[in-house]
Amino acid sequence: MNTKPVFHGSDIEKICEYYHLNQEDIVNFGANVNPIGISTHVKQVLASHLDLLSSYPDRDYQSLRNTVSEYCGVPADYVLPGNGSSELISLLIETRAPKRTLLLGPTYSEYSRELSLSNSKCNEFLLKETDEFILNVDFLCQSLLAGSYDFLIICNPNNPTSSAILRSDMERLLTFCEQHDIFVMIDETYVEFAPVIEDVTAVPFTKTFKNLMVLRGVSKFFAAPGVRLGYGITGNMPFLKAMKEKQIPWSLNSLGAFAGELMLKDEEYIRQTRRLILSEREKMYSALKEQPAYKTYKPYANFLLVKLLQKETTAFDVFTHCVKNGLMIRDCSSFKSLDGEFYPVLCYGQQRQSTSSRRTLFPMPSKII
């Protein structure tokens, strides 16, 4: 049986081995990381502060928490830094110990993996393609009630659909969950790419809803997945205290904590990134909507979900063609609940060249475009 391989966004080593390619010849757009790269200012300042590696970090990360407080507009006491969002997802699930969990899907696979380790019974409430992957809050509430769930996980904006739940719908959903003793975890990894952040973020709701924790990080927007810095925000002080008691001391290193402060204060970089992504996203969305071979959906993250409408072409065909021409995208076959041939397109439409071969990276076969 000829089974095609399934790659994830960070699997560039496996991909290069499979296709016999060199990593330096590939522009990696498969991990949805900001194509601008790490801020030049942050790199310069970090280079002059390497002596921080000789010191233990502040156990309470007070300076970093103050910076997050200012950046997000919440009290510093609401903030829990961690070793990437992954640590906080694991820590939150371990501390909450939910019996029955509902995932808003299709979505990031790490949630279900962590839930399986906690022995929580887990089901998915799937966003419907016929609804443009826009959530029907009433149907979700009905499912939560019918399934006697005590935990709900949402990625907003969502990966891989790039759709979002807007403020009014989120408030209705949180109110319903509060009334039925359902705790809500919202992963806002991509929220800083939203057209209007205030329309999407649930952070202000942490001041009024104690059944809520919002997670963010610096991997995507600030192009720093190697720093492994994430932070959680909740107004539920007893729950936050319980999480801190379970957290490994000094889980975030001194240089990473300092880097986080620099990134969140780098206003020029933030403006530059939002200016680029918002502009390129609109150009690509408008262009793809005009292509009869594609179906695309309104995006809120830094990528668009694209469905191939030509039956003779698969997402794996597109992936293979692109990677052989030096561009790594993502084949969404690993999201089992997506019915069809889908792949995401990162919102950066300018032509890029390989550092070694200097080839233009966007040639596509005519049958695909």
**Over the stretch 92-114, which tens digit does the pLDDT of each residue have?**
999 999 999 999 999 988 999 99
Closest CA to 333 of 103, 12, 20, 106: 106
Q: Assess if residue 363 is contained within a domain.
A: no
State which of 235, 265, 295 marks the end of a domain.
265
Q: Are residues 140 and 282 in the same domain?
A: no
The CA distance from 290 to 285, in Å, is 9
Q: Are residues 23 and 81 in the same domain?
A: no
Q: Are residues 158 and 182 in the same domain?
A: yes
State which of 265, 295, 329 marks the end of a domain.
265
Residue in the structure block whose two tokens are 């991909």? 15
Q: Domain holding 219: CATH number?
A: 3.40.640.10
Q: Are residues 21 and 69 in the same domain?
A: no
What share of the chain has pLDDT > 70, as a percent? 91
Q: Assess if residue 147 is contained within a domain.
A: yes
Q: Assess if residue 284 is contained within a domain.
A: yes
Q: Are residues 188 and 243 in the same domain?
A: yes
Q: Are residues 308 and 260 in the same domain?
A: no
Count of CA atoms in the C-beta half-sphere (13 A) of 244: 18
Q: Are residues 97 and 62 in the same domain?
A: yes
pTM (2 d.p.):
0.91
Q: Assess if residue 368 is contained within a domain.
A: no
Mean pLDDT, the chain, whole residue set: 90
Q: Are residues 26 and 59 in the same domain?
A: no
Domain extent, residue 199, equals 40-265
Name the band, by pLDDT with cuts 50, 70 and 90, for residue 56.
very high
Q: Are residues 301 and 214 in the same domain?
A: no
Q: Are residues 211 and 340 in the same domain?
A: no
Name the band, by pLDDT with cuts 50, 70 and 90, for residue 2.
low
How much is the pLDDT for 280? 95
State which of 200, 235, 265 marks the end of a domain.
265
Q: Are residues 24 and 52 in the same domain?
A: no
Q: Domain holding 341: CATH number?
A: 3.90.1150.10
Count of C-beta atoms within a 10 Å radius of residue 350: 9
Q: Assess if residue 65 is contained within a domain.
A: yes
Closest CA to 5 of 312, 310, 315, 304: 315
Number of structural domains found in the chain:
2
Q: Is 40 helix (H, G, I), strand (E, B) or coil?
A: helix
Name the band, by pLDDT with cuts 50, 70 and 90, for residue 163.
very high
Q: Assess if residue 364 is contained within a domain.
A: no
Task: Give the pairing type, strands 327-328 and 27-28.
Answer: parallel
Q: Are residues 81 and 217 in the same domain?
A: yes
